[in-house]
A and B are shown apart, each in its own frame.
Chain A
Amino acid sequence: MANDGGTARLRGMHIDKDLVAASATPLVLGILADGESYGYAILKRVQELSGGQMAWTDGMLYPLLHRLERQGLVQATWGTAESGRKRKHYAITPSGLAALAERRQQWSVVADALDRVWRTATPPAVGWAQ
């Protein structure tokens, strides 16, 4: 198994599993803020958004969705897909939206700080340098 026990398996660039785990909640909440969705569609959306760079170990999405459901951030309902299969749909709740807004602020602080670090730090050694 390519998976090393973390939350994600990656195709293409290797992204640290802690980073993937940390970003999973805001990503899922953000996708659900656009409208209700279900597991496989959420996963495809993550792939689209990251240009295929971030692909999770698919099964790990479900424990995450259940955690969000237990915390009351999303609400789940069983429905039927066009194919006639049973399908579990997830919709974001008001407290989910609040949590998303909070995460968003946190991430923008982190992103700003990182951005400044990238600009002030010595340029990374790429290719032949060093």
Chain B
Amino acid sequence: MGTVTRDATELDDQIGQWRQYVERSQTITPADIAEMEDHLRGQIDDLTETGLAPDEAFLVAVKRMGSVDDISREFAREHAERLWKQLVLSGASGTDSPGIGRNLLVALGFAIAAAVTLKSAVTWLEGEHFGRNLALIVLPFVTGYLAWTRRLRPGAIAAVAATYTIAALTMNFSPWRSTPSAPEATTEILAATHLPILLWLVAGLAYVGGQWRSHGRRMDFIRFTGEWVVYLALLALGGIVVTGLTIASFTTLGVADEDTIASWIVPFGAAGATVIAAWLVEAKQAVVENIAPVLTKVFTPITLLLLVALLSALAVRLDFADLERDLLIIVDLILALVLGLVLYAISARDPLAEPQVFDRLQFVLLAVALATDAVLLIAMITRIADAGFTANKVAALGMNLVLLVNLIGSTRLLARFNRGASPFSALERWQTGYLPVYGIWAAIVVFALPPMFSFA
């Protein structure tokens, strides 16, 4: 009896050591280890039955399990979302910390370049020139930083540069028809607001290192975008506090006035933050990984309440006659928010987990969003039939359609997933496959819509 219990504790110790060793691999989760431990113990039991001593059986079983590095690599290949974590963390922890240091220096370089460019633009460009060029001024630096960290191939660099050149020529040399009352033409405002979407996808091309066909890399870009937004918001909050304190202290001292300080800090801070946020996502991704699920869980029910309230308000005001185009734009933004919540939920979710209550709640959110949009679209279409198309209506309706198709697809796939009829990865693939659609629509609004409405 004595030897049996001693052997058993010894074996537990050995297995404990094996577990600790495997735990070091970032891509193998505790659940995977539990599964493999069950395997290991099953094998050891069988081997001891054939007459091997427990410690011999342990060695044979571990050897048959295979090299942890190889298994970890296989898991990483299978679970891209874990690989993403490993990519980020292996950079931060020891192995190539000089790389991180250099990345920070390069990020600071790009941030300063972005800040100086934006400040110069604020100083020298007149109102409407500044507005139409804003995306072209700030986003190249984020894109450039990403292209540098990815060692982008010349072909992809050429594609990025060509898009920027064509966009810059279009924005600055189109015959925009401005009037004294409205210095900016409607189509110009539309082009300026849709250009960032197109340019962000170009930044995505740099982010995925030119491998734009890979769904896994596209999913990484979606994650990157979500976390970039969170970091940017955090930096903005901090920036507001620091700016406020700076202005308060210097004006009290009488050294400088509010406008001078703000005119330097705001452009420098805003432009620099876009690059620094990109660097932070890469360097400290694990911090935000815990925020994204919280944000989704808090705002999904709140957005659902907002939509239900909006739907009831629409039902009360059944005379759609004076519904304004503005409402369509607001609903576009709400749909974009719903889509954002879906994307956050996808990026934070373990694709293998069973359907949970939250997935059902998200399905309800999507269904209500679709219902609201359907009501509104019916109203708008009758109105447009009466009043005809304008550039604004085409843009708002088109964006609505782009979002609507995405949300219909998401709703269908989420319903199937909740029923257990299709895996969660189908929803992921739908979203990654849909990415180019935003770019195509943005390109239409930037390049095709203005000539269609004769640049008015």
Among the stretches B31-39, B158-166, B220-228, B338-346, the one at the interface with A is B31-39
Among the stretches B72-80, B126-134, B301-309, B441-449, the one at the interface with A is B72-80
Cβ A57 vs Cβ B64 within 8 A: yes
- The answer to whether B386 has its CB under 8 Å from any CB of chain A is no
In the complex, what's the smallest C-beta–C-beta distance from A12 to chain B, in angstroms?
A: 14
Cβ B351 vs Cβ A63 within 8 A: no
**Interchain pairs with CB closer than 8 A, number:** 91
Which one of B42, B67, B75, B423 lies within 8 Å of A3 (CB-CB)?
B67
Cβ B423 vs Cβ A57 within 8 A: no
Cβ A58 vs Cβ B35 within 8 A: no
Cβ B66 vs Cβ A88 within 8 A: no
* A contact residues, range: 20 to 34
Shortest Cβ distance from A70 into B: residue: B425
Among the stretches A25-33, A79-87, A100-108, A122-130, the one at the interface with B is A79-87
0 or 1 for each of B43-67: is its CB under 8 Å from A? (1 = yes): 1001000000000000000011111
Find chain A residues with CB under 8 A from B74 CB.
Answer: 59-60, 63-64
Which one of A38, A59, A67, A87 lies within 8 Å of B70 (CB-CB)?
A59
Cβ A5 vs Cβ B36 within 8 A: no
- The answer to whether B318 has its CB under 8 Å from any CB of chain A is no
- The answer to whether B352 has its CB under 8 Å from any CB of chain A is yes
Cβ B71 vs Cβ A40 within 8 A: no
In the complex, what's the smallest C-beta–C-beta distance from B81 to chain A, in angstroms?
A: 11
C-alpha spacing A85/B63, complex, angstroms? 22
Find chain A residues with CB under 8 A from B393 CB.
Answer: none
Find chain A residues with CB under 8 A from B42 CB.
Answer: 40-41
CB-CB under 8 A for A81 and B38, given A1-B67, A59-B70, A60-B71: yes
CB-CB under 8 A for A3 and B78, given A39-B38, A58-B65: no
- The answer to whether B297 has its CB under 8 Å from any CB of chain A is no
Cβ B422 vs Cβ A72 within 8 A: yes
- The answer to whether B41 has its CB under 8 Å from any CB of chain A is yes
C-alpha spacing A52/B79, complex, angstroms? 31
- The answer to whether A62 has its CB under 8 Å from any CB of chain B is yes
CB-CB under 8 A for A70 and B78, given A58-B65, A59-B70, A62-B71: yes
C-alpha spacing A59/B62, complex, angstroms? 9
Find chain A residues with CB under 8 A from B63 CB.
Answer: 1
- The answer to whether A71 has its CB under 8 Å from any CB of chain B is yes
Find chain B residues with CB under 8 A from A72 CB.
Answer: 422-423, 425-426
0 or 1 for each of A62-98: is its CB under 8 Å from B? (1 = yes): 1110110111100110000101011110000000000
Cβ B66 vs Cβ A70 within 8 A: no
Find chain A residues with CB under 8 A from B37 CB.
Answer: 85
Shortest Cβ distance from A9 into B: residue: B66
CB-CB under 8 A for A3 and B70, given A38-B38, A39-B39, A88-B38: yes
0 or 1 for each of B343-363: is its CB under 8 Å from A? (1 = yes): 000000001100000000000
Cβ B65 vs Cβ A57 within 8 A: yes
Cβ A57 vs Cβ B75 within 8 A: no
C-alpha spacing A39/B75, complex, angstroms? 15
Cβ B352 vs Cβ A59 within 8 A: no
In the complex, what's the smallest C-beta–C-beta distance from B56 to chain A, in angstroms?
A: 17
> Could you jot down 30 A-B contacts, CB within 8 Å?
A1-B63, A3-B67, A3-B70, A9-B64, A39-B36, A40-B42, A40-B43, A41-B42, A57-B64, A57-B65, A57-B67, A58-B43, A58-B64, A58-B66, A59-B36, A59-B66, A59-B68, A59-B70, A62-B35, A62-B75, A63-B75, A66-B32, A66-B78, A66-B79, A67-B78, A72-B425, A72-B426, A85-B37, A88-B34, A88-B35
Given contacts A3-B67, A57-B64, 5 further A-B contacts (CB under 8 A): A39-B35, A60-B70, A60-B71, A62-B35, A64-B74
Question: 4 shortest A-B CB distances, which residue pairs?
Answer: A57-B66, A63-B74, A40-B42, A59-B71
